[in-house]
Amino acid sequence: MDFDGIRGLTGAINASLADFFERESHYLREIGSELDPVADVLGHFLLDSGKRLRPLFATIGFLGAGGELSPEIIKATSSLELVHVCALIHDDVMDASDTRRNAPAIHKQFEALHDSEHLHGSNSQFGVASAILLGDLALVWAAKALHESGAPSQNILRALPFYDEMRVELMAGQYLDMYEQALASESVERSLKVARFKSGKYSIERPLHFGASLAPEFSAQVIESYSNYGLPLGEAFQLRDDVIGVFGDPEKTGKPAGDDLREGKRTVLVATTLSKVNVIQRTEFLQLFGRKDLDLSQIETLRSIIVETGALAELETIIEEMTFKAHNALATGGITPSAVALLEEMAIAATQRTA
Amino acid sequence: MDFDGIRGLTGAINASLADFFERESHYLREIGSELDPVADVLGHFLLDSGKRLRPLFATIGFLGAGGELSPEIIKATSSLELVHVCALIHDDVMDASDTRRNAPAIHKQFEALHDSEHLHGSNSQFGVASAILLGDLALVWAAKALHESGAPSQNILRALPFYDEMRVELMAGQYLDMYEQALASESVERSLKVARFKSGKYSIERPLHFGASLAPEFSAQVIESYSNYGLPLGEAFQLRDDVIGVFGDPEKTGKPAGDDLREGKRTVLVATTLSKVNVIQRTEFLQLFGRKDLDLSQIETLRSIIVETGALAELETIIEEMTFKAHNALATGGITPSAVALLEEMAIAATQRTA
């Protein structure tokens, strides 16, 4: 199977997801037309956007272990996007976030359906319940996509432990993150631990391992190289997220300016800032941080403190160091040269992005 | 592996679940002590009670196809209980039910944790978010328990399509049920469709199929017999649930008297009643039905209407007919005699229970 770099792989992943969705949504609609909105909403959420980061890492993980790409393998690696759809849908309910990618979150879409169909009971309860079920369905679809991929069954069996590990770590990481927010923790160490679980392991290391385990054979050296690449890169990726959440351009991110500041999100960037502020800066920061009604000048005040304390510069330095570390891990060998080139490209994309 | 009837199988399933939980909770706690409450709460929910209906049907499904029982198979079939734990936890969030089995629902337990640890933000939001994650984790654990069961890998591979089908039908059935409630539908046909998905397929037919597919070999005849037994029995099971939800003894059910009437649950029993009422009964019924503050005399009024219209008697007749149909399906053959005896026992337990 030929493909043209990351862009070509992304196209193949998108096509595979569209194909899977076509079949599964048809089945849903046959159960009853009541399920049409479930299929429609999930379809848009899955297919309209998304960077396909985890399927890409899984596919490259497969190539790096010497696997020969096929449509069946793309089906198997694409399944990770459905796990992520579950995580995002449930995340929005958990955070009570009303928008995602410039569109209403799933629970808000079903709240609107409740209104337009004049259904009984609470519209927000209906919205939340629907979003829980759609997330659950995405998680089940993910497994189904993998099982039915047509990849050799022995390889699927070998991939399952990595797959399970990844999903347990995802749920554990989500709980840690939520608990961290509720603690209103100021610990840099603790926020780094969350970043490690949520991004290092779930988004990069495990998808690479999962991909490798789908290959006809893979060495312990490849698995280790993927960890050495994936964990620091995941950290850099998450720190870039922190920076974008504060300094990102709304036109690019699809979210309001300074969104994380309004939400009072306890990120590594915020923890680093709070570890460096003087008393006056601390008072000013904490008075504004987490207020839903922040105006642009207040956001600018918070941003200035983050810059003046040197927290932003410190994060940029760590991002650079971690990316460098990830690059070096690729040199230690075991990974096929074509996959090394793709992983270099992914590292740049993950850490130099603006959205 | 020897066992002594349903009771013996239930004991083996309980032991297997305890064993799995022991290992997995250890892993969770090692990630961080923040996850201790997740492990504790899930452990109690999983291990303190539960009839193990779905693992039992899966185990008997395996035996009926000629399989020889082993601890590995019990591990594989027990995994269905974890799927059900996910369904129950998410169901309580979706219904905003605050109690389950005489104890606070999971989201209420984490709400209380938020209070006792004086965490920041909304306690109910924290409770809901935790319950969503615990349900997700249970669903992932279910898959892990199956994958790691040690059952022959070819048999596991063969069981996966049945497993996936069951989980998709569960989520679809849950949505249908919720939508039906929100429609405040009075259609007997529609409420029967929900009952068919939620109980017939998810609780009985699919677990039997799943169990059969774990056996070294299974015939199309066994699969068909299981459908012919499982679908009517599932319907009878659900109708019994409807009756208990209205007439059940609180001491036995662990729920307040007439709970379904307070909740305004659109069951087959309610739809049948509404198809039989006269104008006066209809007005009286709809004035009271679904009111959270119903007192015992009002519950008695609703119960009388259900009895007087003949709806209760009609349901009892259908339960009897469906159970009879299920029994007859066992006679058509293909199922081993010892499994037939167990399925007879299960049919009685499922339809003659009082809680």
* Gap from B119 CA to chain A (nearest CA, Å): 5
**pLDDT at site A50:** 87
- Report the residue from B129, B157, B161 with minimal CB separation from A94: B129
Residue A66 domain-assigned?
Answer: no
pLDDT digits (tens, 9 = 90+) for A28-44: 999 999 999 999 999 99
Do both B304 and B165 map to the same domain? yes
Angstrom distance (rounded) from CA B129 to CA B197? 27
Residue A65 domain-assigned?
Answer: no
CB-CB neighbors (< 8 A) of A28 in chain B: 168, 172
CB contact under 8 A, B35 and A90: no
CB-CB neighbors (< 8 A) of A121 in chain B: 181-182
Q: Is A328 on the interface with B (CB under 8 A)?
A: no
3-state secondary structure chain B: CCCCHHHHHHHHHHHHHHHHHHHHHHHHHHHCHHHHHHHHHHHHHHHCCCCCHHHHHHHHHHHHCCCCCCHHHHHHHHHHHHHHHHHHHHHHHHHCCCEECCEECHHHHHHHHHHHCCCCCCHHHHHHHHHHHHHHHHHHHHHHHHHCCCCCHHHHHHHHHHHHHHHHHHHHHHHHHHHHHHHCCCCHHHHHHHHHHHHHHHHHHHHHHHHHHCCCCCCHHHHHHHHHHHHHHHHHHHHHHHHHHHHCCHHHHCCCCCHHHHHCCCCHHHHHHHCCCCHHHHHHHHHHCCCCCCCHHHHHHHHHHHHHCCHHHHHHHHHHHHHHHHHHHHHCCCCCHHHHHHHHHHHHHHHCCCC
Do both A112 and A158 map to the same domain? no
CB contact under 8 A, A133 and B34: no
Mutate to test the interface with A, among B36, B139, B167, B171 (most CBs of A within 10 A): B171
* Gap from A80 CA to chain B (nearest CA, Å): 14
Do both A160 and A202 map to the same domain? yes
Do both A209 and A341 map to the same domain? yes
**pLDDT at site B103:** 85
Percentage of chain A modeled with pLDDT above 90: 83
Contact status, residue B208 vs residue B200, Cβ threshold 8 Å: no
Q: CATH code at B185?
A: 1.10.600.10
> Quick one: closest CA in B to A123, which residue?
B182
Do both A145 and A174 map to the same domain? no
Residue (of A12, A43, A13) closest to A25 by Cα position: A43
Q: Is B196 on the interface with A (CB under 8 A)?
A: no
CB contact under 8 A, A182 and B153: no
CB contact under 8 A, B181 and A140: no
- Report the residue from A160, A172, A174 with minimal CB separation from B28: A172
pLDDT digits (tens, 9 = 90+) for B17-73: 999 999 999 999 999 999 999 999 999 999 998 899 999 999 999 999 999 999 999
Residue B62 domain-assigned?
Answer: no
- The confidence band for A354, taking pLDDT boundaries of 50, 70 and 90, is confident
Do both B221 and B345 map to the same domain? yes
Residue A44 domain-assigned?
Answer: yes
pLDDT digits (tens, 9 = 90+) for B218-247: 999 999 999 999 999 999 999 999 999 999
Residue B54 domain-assigned?
Answer: no
Q: Work out the angle between the directed axes of helices A220-247 and A206-213 (0-180°, nearest 10).
A: 150
CB contact under 8 A, A140 and B168: yes
Min mean pLDDT across A123-127, A171-175, B2-6, B249-253 is at: B2-6
* Gap from B215 CA to chain A (nearest CA, Å): 18
Do both A21 and A160 map to the same domain? no
CB contact under 8 A, A143 and B141: no
**pLDDT at site B200:** 81
Indicate if the pLDDT at residue A333 is higher than 80: no
> Quick one: closest CA in B to A125, which residue?
B94
- The confidence band for A1, taking pLDDT boundaries of 50, 70 and 90, is confident
* The last residue of a domain, from among A150, A169, A200: A150
Handedness of CA A158, A159, A162, A168 (dihedral sign): negative
Query: CA A83 → CA A88, A193, A212, A234, distances in Å?
Result: 9, 22, 18, 18
Contact status, residue B164 vs residue A147, Cβ threshold 8 Å: yes
**pLDDT at site A220:** 94
- The confidence band for B135, taking pLDDT boundaries of 50, 70 and 90, is very high
Min mean pLDDT across A206-210, B26-30, B319-323, B332-336 is at: B332-336
Residue A187 domain-assigned?
Answer: yes
Do both A233 and A290 map to the same domain? yes
Residues 17 through 76 of chain A touching chain B, CB cutoff 8 Å: 24, 27-28, 31-32, 34-35, 38
Average pLDDT on A115-143 reads: 97
Average pLDDT on A19-26 reads: 97
Min mean pLDDT across A101-105, A143-147, A240-244, B182-186 is at: A101-105
State the total domains in chain B.
2
pLDDT digits (tens, 9 = 90+) for A278-316: 999 999 999 999 999 999 999 999 999 999 999 999 999
pLDDT digits (tens, 9 = 90+) for B248-292: 998 888 788 888 999 899 999 999 999 999 999 999 999 999 999
**pLDDT at site A99:** 82
CB contact under 8 A, A171 and B119: no
* The last residue of a domain, from among B116, B150, B184: B150
Mutate to test the interface with A, among B36, B179, B187 (most CBs of A within 10 A): B179
Do both A247 and A108 map to the same domain? no
Average pLDDT on A165-188 reads: 92
Do both B192 and B143 map to the same domain? no
What's the whole-number average pLDDT of chain A?
94
Which domain does A211 fall in, by range? 153-355
> Which two three-digit tokens encode residue B236?
């009878």
Do both B181 and B318 map to the same domain? yes
Q: Which value does ipTM take for this structure?
A: 0.94
Residue B282 domain-assigned?
Answer: yes
* The last residue of a domain, from among A150, A168, A195: A150
Residue B53 domain-assigned?
Answer: no
CB contact under 8 A, A120 and B181: yes
- The confidence band for B12, taking pLDDT boundaries of 50, 70 and 90, is very high
Cα-to-chain-centroid distance, residue A118: 35
pTM: 0.95
CB contact under 8 A, B156 and A156: no
- Report the residue from B130, B164, B179 with minimal CB separation from A34: B179
> Quick one: closest CA in B to A91, which residue?
B129
Q: Give the Cβ contact number of residue A13 at 10 Å.
A: 23
Do both B246 and B271 map to the same domain? yes
